[in-house]
Structure 1
Amino acid sequence: MHFVRAKGIFTSDYGINIYRGCTHGCIYCDSRSDVYQMNHKFEDIEVKENAPELLKRELIRRKPFMIGTGAMTDPYIPLEKRLKNVRKCLELIYRYGFGFACLTKSDLVLRDIDLLKKINEKTKVVVQITITTADDDLSRIIEPHVCPTSRRIEVLKKLKENGIPTVVWLCPILPHINDTEENINLILDACIENEVKGVLNLGMGLSLREGNREYFYKKLDEKFPGLKKRYIEEFGDSYFIHSSDNRRLRAILKRRCNEHGILHNQDEIFEYMHRFPEKSVQTTLF
């Protein structure tokens, strides 16, 4: 890892990136793409050492809104266990009455369940968990340095027990690897059982562009011999590639979500996560 002193903390949509880079080792990670212009090795985590300081400066002078993190880098990478920068930011978010939404694959999020619960009681919290496969053995291959799916489902259960809303990112889905009806249904079973608010799927497929395509193909050669050739023949240099079963699998997802009152429309889910609750405004007024 290496430290930097950042000049700002918020992205254009009020997200924060406390870290840049990741050590989860997911073979499909789009954040490796050249388009993000990361000027250091992906596994050499850039730590914004002044992130809490920058966040406090911004929160003091703004009206409350939802703050998000995890779009580029999982906030709960192993370094966070020692550095606790996310926790420091959560303490500020709670103190100044803001809401919080995060995206993670890590069970380290449970370390902060006390703060997440307090923020949710005061304003709003949404924890998003990525689940790509119901098979722990496959999860350990395609997401080798993060807790397996069964543990993430335990995280969903624990969050439900503490009244914290959750959204599952059911993506990416890798053609010829996890694009099966059985896999999708097993993940949906867990979502239904744990009463998730939404299931977000951007298509039964994945994005591949310069930077992450090369890494992905390298890992296909290592873990799934012969599959890279099939990908090249089927998809060429396409940016987003879909499973040949995309429509049918998406139809299953929509039907089952509708049956159980789970959001599945992308726009509706993002609107829900960005919407700051009226109850907190009323609390401020009275």
Structure 2
Amino acid sequence: MTREIRAKAILSRVKEPKKWFGVTYNMNIYRGCEHGCIYCDSRSECYGIEDFESVQIKTNAVELLEKELRNKRKKALIGTGAMSDPYTPIEKEYEMTRKSLKVIADYGFPLHINTKSDLILRDIDLLKSINRAFLSVAVTVTTYDDMLAKKIEPFAPKPTDRLKAMRKLSDQGIYTGVLLMPVLPFLQDSWKNIETVVKRAKECGAQFIIPWFGVSLRDRQRIYFYNQLDKHFPGIKKQYEDTYGDSYGCNAKKIKELYGRFRELCREYDVVYNMEMVKNYESSDEAEQLSFF
């Protein structure tokens, strides 16, 4: 189910850009998402989206974006995909993301995209144009197992297809990598899963892999998550309740060991593994300035 709405603004200022890929302006073209990931924190009551699977389309998003970019005096990194995937399935019909990319390309702004969808390849022409300024793409992959992903991220493309899409983006010279998050305790936090994702990501051109070995749970999202655990993974909910109680941050039990082994593997593969090391628009400009000397 979808609903068309009109927004008052499309870009929101990010307080601390360095915490997330250097993003200065956040953009969400849709409210809600159809991928149905059982862990999505955006269902939480604080975000005010009553029915997260019922996507709201901001029909005036492109018009607002053009107006707002026209009035910006300085170019800065735009980010999309933080709250809802810009390539949620309804994008095939509405093409709001594609139209927005055209505006961003026309105004020469840099862009960062988070997505779980190989639909991004449809827009490779516009992405190559944006990349002249700067483009980074982070593809979420939480497991190498397509069958497990079908239960956890039921309506998103398979992880193997996402990685293939990342390979094609990387082959076009686009700065790409993986968001290895959230890694669900008791389901995805085995070293075999983490190691396999890292290896396959590297094979598919990943230049960075940003992890979180855990999951956030609060209010409405916790209820939804536990209902899905009962449906697909009987007995796992009790492990969460016994281990975490009502905690918001549910870290993997062997988190220090996992991070240690993960960092070693990333160093072996020459893959960036923390946000401070990720290339962003500002660091790209600095590198260009240094080249003159």
Against the structure 1 CA distance between its residues 42 and 91, is the aligned structure 2 distance closer, same or farther, given a 3 Å change threshold?
Answer: same
- Equivalence for 1:53: 63
| Residue 261 of structure 1: how far off its partner (Å) | 2.4
Query: SS at the partner of 1:101?
Result: strand
Within the candidate set 38, 45, 61, 1:27 is matched to: 38
Deviations 1:106-149 (A, max 9, x none): 111110011101211x2111111000001111011101101111
Identical columns (%): 42
Name the amino acid aligned to 1:181: W
- Equivalence for 1:162: 172
Instruction: Quote the Cα distance in structure 2 between the aligned partners of 1:160 and 1:73.
Output: 23
- Equivalence for 1:110: 121
Query: SS at the partner of 1:15?
Result: strand
* Structure 2 contact 110–281 (Cα < 8 Å) conserved: no
Query: SS at the partner of 1:11?
Result: strand
Instruction: Quote the Cα distance in structure 1 between the aligned partners of 2:117 and 2:202.
Output: 20
Instruction: Quote the Cα distance in structure 2 between the aligned partners of 1:83 and 1:99.
Output: 23
Name the amino acid aligned to 2:75: P
Instruction: Quote the Cα distance in structure 1 between the aligned partners of 2:185 and 2:252.
Output: 5
Name the amino acid aligned to 1:248: E
Instruction: Quote the Cα distance in structure 1 between the aligned partners of 2:39 and 2:281.
Output: 26
* Structure 1 contact 199–262 (Cα < 8 Å) conserved: yes
Instruction: Quote the Cα distance in structure 2 between the aligned partners of 1:137 and 1:260.
Output: 27
Within the candidate set 192, 202, 206, 1:196 is matched to: 206
- What 5-or-longer segments of structure 1 have no aligned partner? none
- Equivalence for 1:209: 218
TM-score between both structures, scaled by the size of structure 1 = 0.93
Query: SS at the partner of 2:258?
Result: helix
Instruction: Quote the Cα distance in structure 1 between the aligned partners of 2:268 and 2:144.
Output: 21
Instruction: Quote the Cα distance in structure 1 between the aligned partners of 2:231 and 2:281.
Output: 40
Does residue 1:233 correspond to 2:242, yes or no?
yes
| Residue 48 of structure 1: how far off its partner (Å) | 0.8
Query: SS at the partner of 1:167?
Result: strand
* Structure 1 contact 124–276 (Cα < 8 Å) conserved: no
| Residue 95 of structure 1: how far off its partner (Å) | 0.6
Instruction: Quote the Cα distance in structure 2 between the aligned partners of 1:259 and 1:231.
Output: 33
Instruction: Quote the Cα distance in structure 2 between the aligned partners of 1:261 and 1:35.
Output: 39
Name the amino acid aligned to 1:2: R
Within the candidate set 270, 273, 284, 2:280 is matched to: 273
- Equivalence for 1:178: 188
* Structure 2 contact 218–248 (Cα < 8 Å) conserved: yes
* Structure 2 contact 128–172 (Cα < 8 Å) conserved: yes
Query: SS at the partner of 2:112?
Result: strand
Instruction: Quote the Cα distance in structure 1 between the aligned partners of 2:201 and 2:277.
Output: 17
Does residue 1:68 correspond to 2:79, yes or no?
yes
| Residue 277 of structure 1: how far off its partner (Å) | 3.8
| Residue 266 of structure 1: how far off its partner (Å) | 2.7
